[in-house]
A and B are shown apart, each in its own frame.
Chain A
Amino acid sequence: MRPAWAPDTGRSTISGGYTEQMAVTPDRSVETSRDAGSVTFGVTAAPLDVQAVAGLVARDSDGAVATFVGLVRDHNAGRAVRWLDYEAFVPLALKAFEQIGGEAAEKWPDTRLAIHHRTGRVEIGEASVAIAAASPHRAHAFAACRYAIERVKQIAPIWKHEHFEGGEVWIEGATADPADDTARTAALERACT
């Protein structure tokens, strides 16, 4: 079923399919990764469960899982925010998450990432994104988790439509360029300092 916020692309079976499949549960059958079992990514209209996301990546050999939960806050740029509507280009977002997972695995080979992002209307206090990084060692888990959220903000084809007291506005941040090494380096620096 196509959520009311979603653009009518004539492809509701595809986006709806993702919506149904991407519900975050520890059930391995919902994984979307091309490397199933090691990295998991999702885009979903359903509420996020960070514990379930963490459960997708933690193994017996891991000593740490670092998680990040992005929340919808009640203010932005001096405006009283009522809610956010997230729109995503789902297949490309999943590819972007896979790229981020690959970059993290290259930098921290013992670390695995899960990234799940909400779409549709997300209320104040609800999670918009949940990320988990599992590693034998906490330093790599923390770094990979921070790196992942920085990269999500840089290259994931996802947009927030802010509904505030008195109006609405599309928030526009970075021009997405997955091949931009300067942005990638900036994300690494933030992750490692």
Chain B
Amino acid sequence: MHVTIRLFARLRELAGTAELARQVPDGASAQDAWNALVAEFPAMKDYGGSISCAVNEDYSRLTTPLHDGDEVAFLPPVSGG
């Protein structure tokens, strides 16, 4: 199935883009999409324990199952204020 991956801040810089279109297997979770992303961009590996994720613009657990057409965003630790 097709998903859109959105990246912010340093993750965006590591990927060289803010948005990626990728295929993931049916039944894949946000974590699975992250794992595929790390395989593509190994420099992101260090973020595995500290990212948050949002599916379709709502904060979500990494265990959240994805559906065709979903947008999943991966967020490095935040620093607003």
Contact = CB atoms under 8 A, between A and B. Distances in A.
Interface of A: 7-10, 70, 86-89, 91-93, 95-96, 117, 128-129, 149, 152-161, 170-179
19 contacts: A7-B8, A8-B18, A86-B80, A89-B8, A89-B54, A89-B73, A91-B57, A95-B57, A128-B80, A129-B80, A152-B81, A153-B78, A153-B81, A159-B78, A161-B9, A172-B79, A176-B77, A176-B78, A177-B59
B28 to A, nearest CB: 21
Contacts of B51: 175
Contacts of B18: 7-9
Interface of B: 6-10, 12-13, 17-19, 50-52, 54, 57-59, 73, 75-81
A176 B9 contact: no
Given A175-B51, A175-B52, A177-B52, A92 B57 contact: yes
A93 B79 CA distance: 12
A177 B49 CA distance: 13
Contacts of B12: 7, 87
A159 B9 contact: yes
Query: Which of A93, A129, A175 lies at the interface centre, i.e. has the most chain B CB atoms within 10 A of its CB?
Result: A175
The 4 closest A-B pairs by CB, nearest first: A158-B80, A7-B18, A159-B9, A172-B77
Contact of B77 (A86, A152, A175): A175
Contact of B80 (A8, A152, A170, A175): A152
Contact of B76 (A70, A154, A172): A172
Nearest to A93: B80
A93 B17 CA distance: 20
Given A7-B8, A89-B54, A171 B79 contact: yes
Nearest to B10: A170
A89 B81 CA distance: 14
Nearest to B54: A92
Contacts of A157: 8, 52, 54, 75, 78, 80
B55 to A, nearest CB: 11
Contacts of B81: 70, 128-129, 149, 152-153, 156, 158
Given A87-B12, A160-B79, A170-B10, 20 more contacts: A9-B6, A70-B81, A87-B8, A87-B9, A91-B57, A92-B58, A92-B59, A92-B73, A117-B80, A129-B80, A152-B80, A159-B76, A159-B78, A160-B80, A170-B9, A172-B76, A172-B77, A175-B52, A176-B75, A179-B59
Contacts of A158: 78-81
A92 B73 CA distance: 10
